[in-house]
Structures are given as C-alpha cells and as structure tokens.
Structure 1
Amino acid sequence: MLFTICLTLFVHLSFSNSKTVFGQKAENFEIFLHKSRNRRETPISKKSLIEEIECLPDIKRLCGTLPPNSDDLFVLECVQSFKGNELGGISEGCQHTIWRHTMDLINDANLNNISQRSCGHDLENLKCKVTDRSGTLLACILDHRDNIHSSPCKAFIQRLEWVAFSDFRLIAHFLDACSSNIDKYMCGRLQPSESLTQGQTLACLQQHIDKLDDQCQKQIYHLSEIQADNIIMDRQLYLACINDHSKFCPEIAPGSGNVYKCLMQHKLDRMMSQQCQDQLLRRQKVIARDYRVSKGLARACKEDIKAFHCRRDVSDEKDIRLAQILLCLEGLLRNGTKVTKDCQMEMVEHRKILMEDYRLSPEIVSQCSEDITKFCNGLEVGGKTIHCLMEHTRPRKKRERVSFKCQRAVETLVKEADAGEDWRVDPVLREACKPVVDNSCKDVRGGDARVMSCLMEKLGTDHMTEACELALVQIQYFVARDYKLDPQLYRQCRDDAVRLCHAKKVWADDNASMDPERGPLVLPCLYRYAYHSQKNLKSDVRCTLNSNEYDQGLVHGLIEVNN
C-alpha cells in the first residue's frame, strides 16, 4: 500500500494549486521518504533527477526542498502537477534533463527492472515483451492494466500513468498510429523535443476525434478509457478544473473517475470556470462518440448491453456511439425488459448530457449549422440552442421554420435523449418548470412521463407559468409526432398501433431500415380509430389529445399535414 499512500499524499498536496505547496509542506515529504528509503527505485542514469545541477533551482522553486534520496518518479510527479505557465519558467537545460530522465524511466529494460518489486508476479502474467525501445513495455502494461490485481502494482502503474500521460511521445503505439493526424491538425511537433507538453497533444486530438484516421481514433478511444479511471490522467482537464473540483466536489477524492461525473453535473452552473467547462465539453464529445469512455455507464450497463446484444454486429474493437447504446437500453425498458437500477441511473445522467449541449450531437452540428446561425445565433449552451431549434420547427410560415434536415436531426436527438420520459433530462424544461412541479406535482414520482403528464394537466390553469408552458409545449410537439416518446401511450397502444396503423414493432429503429415518415402518421391514425372504437384505446388517446389540444391542436395539425 506504500505507493497508494504516496499517490494520495501527492494528489492531496497538488490540489492546493500553489507554486510553493511542496516547499510549504516539504516536511511531509521528508517524513514519507524517510519511511520509503529502502524501497527507492533507481533509474538508468548515474545521477537521479534531484541531483542534476541544471535542475536544482527549478525543482526547489516548484517542489520545495526535497530529501536527497527522492527517486525520479517522485520528482516527476511533483513537476508534472503544475500548470503550463508555471512550468514555462523551467530553463531549457532543465527541460532537456527532465525529458532525458523521463525517457530513462520508461525505457523498457529499466521499467522492467524498477517494477519488479511492486509488479514482478503481475508482469509475468501479462506476457509483455521487453524491447530496446522506450515506451513499448509501458504501452503493453497499460493495454492489460485490467488484468493487474495486486494493490502495490496497481498503485505503481497509476504513478507511471501520471507521468506517461504528460506526453504523447511516451506511449509508443500512440505515436505510431497518430503521427500523420498530429501533423494534420497541428496538435504538436513530431521532431524530437524536450519541451513539457503536459498532455496537450492528446487533448488536441480528442477535439478532432470524428476526423481522425481509424487507427489513430482507436488509440485515442483506448487512451480516453484509461483516463476515465482517474481524472489526473486527463492532464488538461485536471489542471483546468482544480478550483472547480474544490468548489463543487470537495468530498470526492481527486484520484477517482467519480470526479468526472460530479463536475459534469455542475457544468451548467454559472459559477464554474470557462476553462473547466471547455475541458468537460472535450471529454463529453469523446463519450458521445464511444460510450466506453464513460466508465460509469460502461460498468453499470455492461451486463445489460451484453445480455441484450446492444453491440449487435459491432466488434469489441469498434467504437459505438452513446446514443446507439441509449436507444437500445431504452427500447428494452419500453418493451418491458428489466434493466438494472444502476444502469438506469447512468442512462438518465447521460441523457441529460445529450440535451445539455447541441455540440454533442453530430447530426445537429452538421444538419442545423445554417439554422442555428439564422435563428439561434449567440445563444449559450445548456439546451437553449436545442429549444430554439424546437421553437422554429412549428411556425406556419416556411421562412420562419428550420430546414427539414434540421428538424429530422432534432427529432433524432429528442428520441435519443428520450426527453418526453423524464422532465429532469432537459435542462431548459427542468429550470422553467421546477416551480410548477414543486407546487403542483410534488407528489408525482419522476420517470415514465408521470410528471410530464401532470404538467400537461396544469396547462391553462393558474398553476402554470409562461416559461414552463413554452418549454413544455416545445417538447410535446415532438412527442405528438412520435407516439413512442410517450411511454404510457406506447405501453397501452403499441399493439393497436402495429395492427391498425402500420407502426413498427420495436421501440428503437434500426438505422438500416428507418422509415422517417411513418412516425408522424401513427398518432393521427390512432386518433381516427379512437373515435370508432369501444376499446380502452379510445379513452387513452382522447386523454392524450386533450392534453395536447391546448397547443393549437398538435394532433389536429398532424392530421391536416398528412391528409
């Protein structure tokens, strides 16, 4: 557990966000290192980093007075914990020395040697080959890190990750697969350099994740998954969000993947710094492209995804979009299949993510760019752009409506996020309708559109507010266009819709056989049959129509359009 103690102590100290933190608390390091002298792991270089004359002033300035027996890994952890502007003051000679010691540290032969004490048995089981290169053994260890079980080895590998993720050049597979993309998107210099990049190249490539070559994209997803276990591995986000972590998530230890979730839950808070919001958006874009980058969702829903074949026809090496997984899991719930509670909770959190920022939807970005510029330019994130587009799908005058392709993209997003099922998923609806819910629907349990139904019943009454009504009607317009988005109506009317109105049997469409025009036809069809039937279907459809008629007759409008 020694390395775990070391990592915890280091992270705790680095969170003070001060240049002098190591100096102020150097006595803590002396106590710790005094206990660990017999376990010092010596690098290849004859001198340790702390003994290098070129770096003595810089290390002392950044880390305080460290005991002379501090090993290279420990000193590198200290140096890499500081922000870029703080590291900018390091002399060129010292930067070169730091780079040389870092390369020595991850040299295959040296890494194999220094890791024996903590990881000897685990490394034997991994069958990783030792080459004459730097970074190859490290890359193999990272690829098989889930097969490491001993606590000392896990802690040691975690410390190595902290150093390795500081520079893309330290991870051999990454450099081999991404060299052309690094050049193409100007994410870093390829020639040998001793500058401290602090993970900027990886973060830059994540920003361009949808444009990368297949092999590079595969590496980026893989490294992003590794980062998901510990926010410290995402150097740019970690440094940008240090103060926000302390402000919003003080009870969560920094060396935890739960920090991501906590920060994302506060992303729309006006008190969160812009630089932290920007880094969270970068992270969310990668999650939207491959759900496995979100360890919370991937772990909680692993068995459900496997049991119900949500990765059907997709190999384990291929990325699979978050929206695709959510649609599969939501379809299971709609058809009465039980999904674990933990998985359902993660699904709600990720549906919120999709509704909070239109930039996470590739369809919205590509299909609605002109409409956003025309109708919604200058709006902030937080779902406001999405609701602006919703509002402009309804005007009778064509010049005031969004394009058809944009409307289809919004329809897709509303279904992917299942916005009609839970009022809390949509940030605009949540903020606008919270006073109404607290006053008039406080005893109604969330989910299954129960609160949405309660809110619809309050339309036209003194309990409803103008802001809530507007947001609610914008969502209900899309629910009226696809009866499957109303879970209660879908549950009661599915069989009749399939039998009478040619509706599809499954809740989630297969993209290969999607029929974009069928959805808006189903509810008007049910409407017509409801007035000529004695079945329970009649009263249920009438109830739904009565709720929607307040908005200038949503269903009547659909009937007029389709006739």
Structure 2
Amino acid sequence: MESKDPEMDYTFMRVCKRMIKQFCPDSNPKDVFRCLKNHKNEPAMEQKCKMVITRRQITKNTDYRLKPELQKACSKDVPKFCAEELKSKSKSEDEFQGIIIECLKIKYREHRLSQDCEGQIRITMQDAAMDYRLDAQLKQACGKTIIRLCPDELDQPGGGRVEECLKAKLNSDGITDEVCRKHVIRLLQEGKADIHVDPVLYKSCALDIKHFCAGIPPGEGRQMSCLLEALEDKSVRLNEECRHMLTQRVEMWEYAAKVAPPETVADLMQQIQMSPSRNYYIIILLCVVGSLFIGGLFCGRATKRIKAELKNK
C-alpha cells in the first residue's frame, strides 16, 4: 500500500518533507517518491532523506510487486517469461528476493521484453548499477566476497564503486565463489547490452557518446557497438580515459567469455556482434559457407542417381 501511495509511508513523508517541497512541489502525491528518487544524488539532498529513499529502493527491488510501475508495465511479460519463478514461490511465503526482476533482466539482454517493460527494467538496472544494495541477487550472492575484497568501497557504496571493484577482481581471479562469479559476469553482460548500466564506463565516455554516437538510441548494445567501432578506427580520437576504460572492458568481456561460454545461439551472436574482432569472425564464417558452396558445385552429388522408373515402382 505504501509503494502505491507514498503518503501512507509516515517515515518517508516526515524525514523528506523539506526535500519534497524543494524538489517536487508540483508532483502528484502518488509520484512523489519517484520524483524524489530522481533527485537523490543532488548536492542539496539531505543525507537523512537520501538514506530513507535508498532503504525504500532496497526493499522495492526484493519483490517486483512493490514496484507498481514495473508490475503494470510487465504484467504480460512476467507470466510469459518467468512462469517457473512464479510457480516456485507460489507455495512459499518468503519474499521473491529479486528473482522475478532477475528473470526480466535476462529477457532484457535477449531483447524479448515488451517496450514498456523494457523501459522499466532499464530504469531498475540503472539504479542498481549505482548501488549494489539495490541488486538483491548480487547482494545475496556476493555479500561476503564484497566484505573480503572491496572493504574500502563499502564506505561509499554509491556511484558503482563496489560493482567496479568486483569486475576488476573477476579479471584477476580474485573471486573464488562460483555463484558470485556468475553474477559479476552477468553485470558485465548487462553493461554490454546498455552502456548506461555501466556507470563508471558511461561517465568516462559520456562526451564521446555525444560526439561520435549522436542520434543512436540506448539499449541493445547500439551505443556500445558505436564506441567499439570508434576504438578500432585509428582516425577517431577518443578521450584518453574513455579509450582506457573501453580497452579494460574488452579484456573483461573476453575473460568472462572464457569463464562462462555462451549458453544460447543468441548469446553467441551477441558476443560476436560486440567483439572488436567481429569482422574477422564474419569473414571466417563467409569463407566456410563459400567453401561448402563451391565444393558442392564442383564435386556434384554425393549419392548415386536413381532413375525415375525405379523411384516410381
């Protein structure tokens, strides 16, 4: 009820009263949380209010039913793509712990969601990319690993610093927990699908995206493909920080591909599309197909011809 009507959330309304007046004076009462969330990282935002907003976000991301906009936008996608996850929890009173949102993220990477649902999942992924605590599955799988490998980043968990630490540790074989490793690989795959879900890389390449990839919409790896083409083109001068970060990401993707090879044909095609060496792979594929075609022309039939009279017996 509180998620549908923020005015019923007494703590939120009391602590954030001044911030609501400052940032969202004309907002519809039912949209006030969403409005204030968009201003959470403003310098003028009070720390107490920011903490309450973050706690509410963490709670909402454990169960898709606490996110009314997402639940409405994905009303057809959830039963269609996540029926098994719904069935597994139908006889339990436990929270979903983000499994439905996790399921929708997978379908987002496969470009199978409806347009409205895709938009809501993109927002959810962007929020979680800034703070690992908003990713229920990552927090559950990598909680101990983060304390062990990224203690300095825990002082300021926002800004994607914890996620960036995990990605770096994956590339250096520092993550020994297989479940955590799987989720970090998933973070890298999500970043490939949408650069906005990789806040550190996006911050480094924001100017280059505006300059070289103007007019290219986000999602489906389009902006990332544009940047990778610019990285390969020696005539294009990318920002040095962006070039360095892109090179690091390519190394991480190659390592992730070795650790977790593609499970489906769609995954394989996406990896080829995003690879800096995709032109080489395409040429090899065309050569193989061409060789089979030419071989068929010159070698003729592999089986013996049968006369029509024998076939019609």
Q: Does TM, normalized by the shorter one, top 0.5?
A: yes
Q: Which residue of 2 aligns with 1:362?
A: 140
Name the structure 2 match of 1:136.
none
Aligned to 2:225: 453
Amino acid at match of 2:115: K
Which residue does 1:433 correspond to in 2? 205
- For residues 222-371 of structure 1, the aligned pairs below 5 Å read 226-253=1-28, 255-256=29-30, 258-308=31-81, 309=83, 310-315=85-90, 317-322=93-98, 324-333=99-108, 337=112, 339-360=113-134, 361-371=139-149
1:530 offset after TM fit, Å? 4.8
Q: Deviations over 1:87-128 (max 9, x none)?
A: xxxxxxxxxxxxxxxxxxxxxxxxxxxxxxxxxxxxxxxxxx
Structure-2 residue corresponding to 1:383: 160
**8 Å contact kept, 2:108–2:121:** no
For the 8 Å contact 1:420–1:486, the answer to whether it is kept is no
Residue-pair matches, total: 273
Q: Supply the distance in 2 between the matched residues of 1:426 and 1:496 (Cα, whole angstroms).
A: 17
Q: Which amino acid aligns with 1:384?
A: R
Which letter does structure 1 place at the counterpart of 2:192? Answer: G
Residue pairs, 1:50-65, within 5 angstroms: none
Q: In 2, distance between residues paired with 1:241 and 1:260?
A: 10
Q: How many Å separate the matches in 2 of 1:387 and 1:245? A: 32
RMSD of aligned alpha carbons: 3.8
Alignment CA distance shift 1:496-1:468 (3 Å): closer
| AA partner of residue 166 (structure 2) | L
- Ranges in structure 1 where 5+ consecutive residues have no aligned partner: 1-225, 396-400, 498-522, 539-563
Residue 234 of structure 1, CA deviation: 1.7
Closer, same or farther: CA 382–260 of 1 in aligned 2, 3 Å? same
Deviation at 1:350, TM superposition (A): 0.6
Cα distance change, pair 377–302 in 1 and its aligned pair in 2 (3 A): closer
Is the alpha carbon distance of 1:531 and 1:414 closer, same or farther for their aligned partners in structure 2, counting shifts above 3 Å? closer
Correspondence 1:105-254 to 2 at 5 A: 226-253=1-28
Q: Which amino acid aligns with 1:262?
A: C
Return the offset for 1:251.
3.3
Question: Aligned partner of 2:161: which letter?
Answer: K
Q: Which amino acid aligns with 1:282?
A: R
Shift of 1:535: 4.0
Match for 2:202: what amino acid?
Answer: R
How much has 1:390 moved relative to structure 2?
Answer: 2.0
Aligned to 1:110: none
The amino acid across from 1:387 in the alignment is: E
Tell me the TM-score normalised to structure 1 length.
0.42
Structure 1 position 414, deviation (Å): 5.3
CA distance in 2, matches of 1:430, 1:486: 26
Deviations 1:130-189 (A, max 9, x none): xxxxxxxxxxxxxxxxxxxxxxxxxxxxxxxxxxxxxxxxxxxxxxxxxxxxxxxxxxxx
Indicate the SS of the match to 1:302: coil
Does structure 2 retain, via aligned residues, the 8 Å contact 1:390–1:474? no
Indicate conservation of the 8 Å contact 1:422/1:448, yes or no: yes
Distance 1:359 1:297 in 2: 19
Contact 1:440 1:463 in 2 (8 A): no
| Cα distance in 2 between the residues matched to 1:472 and 1:422 | 14
8 Å contact kept, 2:109–2:193: no
Counterpart position of 1:534: 285
Partner of 2:176: 404
Query: Cα gap change, 1:284/1:413 in structure 2, threshold over 3 Å: closer, same or farther?
Result: farther
Other structure's SS at 2:238 match: coil
Instruction: Report the Cα offset of residue 342 of structure 1.
Output: 1.6
Q: 2 CA distance for matches of 1:491 and 1:260?
A: 37
Whose RCO is larger (CA < 8 A, sep 6+)? 2
- CA displacement at 1:475 relative to structure 2: 4.2
Structure index of larger Rg: 1
User: How far did residue 496 of structure 1 move?
Assistant: 12
Unmatched 5+ residue regions in structure 2? Answer: 290-313
How far apart are residue 336 of structure 1 and its match? 6.0
Match of 2:303 in 1: none
Q: Distance in 2 between matches of 1:290 and 1:493?
A: 31
- Superimposed CA distance per residue, residues 410-435 of structure 1 (whole angstroms, 9 cap, x where no aligned partner): 65155268222111123222322211
Identity of aligned residues (%): 23
1:245–1:263 contact (8 Å) kept in structure 2: yes
How far apart, in 2, do the equivalents of 1:318 and 1:279 lie? 24
Distance change in 2, residues 1:536/1:409 (3 Å): farther
Alignment of 1:467-546 (within 5 A): 467-480=241-254, 481-482=256-257, 491=266, 493=268, 530=281, 533-535=284-286
Q: In the alignment, is the contact (CA less than 8 A) between 2:146 and 2:162 conserved in 1? A: no
2:127 match: secondary structure:
helix
Query: SS in structure 2 opposite 1:370?
Result: helix
In 2: Cα distance, 1:486 partner to 1:449 partner: 19
Query: Do 2:170 and 2:184's aligned partners in 1 also have CA atoms closer than 8 Å?
Result: no
Cα distance in 2 for residues equivalent to 1:262 and 1:537: 55
**How do 1:12-51 residues align onto structure 2 when only pairs under 5 Å count?**
none
CA contact (8 A) 2:64 2:101 kept: no
Cα distance change on mapping 1:331 and 1:393 into 2, 3 Å? closer
Query: Per the alignment, do residues 463 and 286 of structure 1 end up closer, same or farther by CA in structure 2, a change over 3 Å counting?
Result: same
In the TM superposition, residue 266 of structure 1 has moved relative to its aligned partner by 2.7
In structure 1, distance between residues paired with 2:219 and 2:285:
29
Letter matched to residue 233 of structure 1? M
**2:238 and 2:45 mapped to 1: Cα distance?**
31
What is the CA–CA distance in structure 2 between the aligned matches of 1:537 and 1:330, rounded to whole Å? Answer: 35
| Deviation for aligned residue 1:379 | 4.3
Query: 1:441 and 1:486 mapped to 2: Cα distance?
Result: 30
